[in-house]
Amino acid sequence: MPDQDFTGKVAIVTGASRGIGRVAALGLAKRGATVVGTARNMDASPGTGGTLRETFEMIAAEGGKGLPIAGSITESAPVQALIDQTVAEFGRIDLLVNNAGVHPLVSITEMTDEAWTDMIAVNVTAVFLLTRGVVPVMKRQHFGHILGISSAAGTRNPRADQTGYAATKGAMDRMFHNLAHELKNDGIAVNVWQPGILATDMNAHRPFAGEPVAVVEPSMMWLLAQTVGSMTGQNVLREEFGKTWGN
């Protein structure tokens, strides 16, 4: 029996087709949550290693409940439609996992306008739109947890080929640090989590192997189970789970 019980909770997980997003969706579902998962497409995009459809087939096979919704999360209208559909079908939104991201490894002089615009849209604008959209729902409930998936690139590990990516993660980190203060009296926890280097599609182009993505589940589930009274406004490293946090 999992330590964390999310029975009756409704979670939105972005980038749920594979990697950390799939681990989040499956982990929450097997602990009782109803999971709404998003990705750009229901089925595979070129060069990707998983699909949204497969994630929710896995959830159903384990007896879980969920709803896959494919589409853009970088524009206001589809994001609001996602939130409205979630509330209409399930009545509430308790958890938001802002996981979707892109990570081009290029120098600042090699980054095109198009790559920069897409990265800002996915890594920053989508986070803002989804967070802005769920806050009124969570305020009405006086309960919620908003989690941002970040990176050491935004805080402590500079690399010559990730200046743009670091800028987007730094932006989200500061957004959430301030948002935690803004929402502290509304029953809404806001935290940032750095999972470390994992063997995901996003990291496939790195010259070194990451850890299996499944290793993130215990720390992510523990963190999502926290409330505003126990942890908010934190930027935590997964490798410190059980040492400086999660005890």
Q: Which domains does the chain have, with CATH numbers?
A: 10-240 (3.40.50.720)
Whether 226 has a pLDDT exceeding 60, the answer reads: yes
Helix axes 163-183, 113-120, angle to 10 degrees: 20
Confidence of residue 205 (pLDDT cuts 50, 70, 90): low
**How sure is the predictor about 2, in pLDDT bands with cuts at 50, 70 and 90?**
very low
Mean residue pLDDT across the chain:
90
Comparing 43 with 47, the larger pLDDT belongs to 43
Structure token pair of residue 140? 């009405």
User: Tokens standing for 176?
Assistant: 């959430």
Which two three-digit tokens encode residue 48?
A: 């990707």
Of 55, 62, 83, 85, which Cα lies nearest the Cα of 144?
A: 83
**Are 183 and 140 contacting, i.e. CB atoms less than 8 angstroms apart?**
no
Q: What is the pLDDT of residue 154?
A: 45
Burial of 33 (0-12, 13-18, 19+ CB in 10 A): buried
Q: What is the CA radius of gyration of the chain?
A: 17
Active site residues: 165
For residue 1, the model assigns a pLDDT of 38
Handedness of CA 202, 207, 212, 217 (dihedral sign): negative
Cβ atoms within 10 Å, residue 38: 27
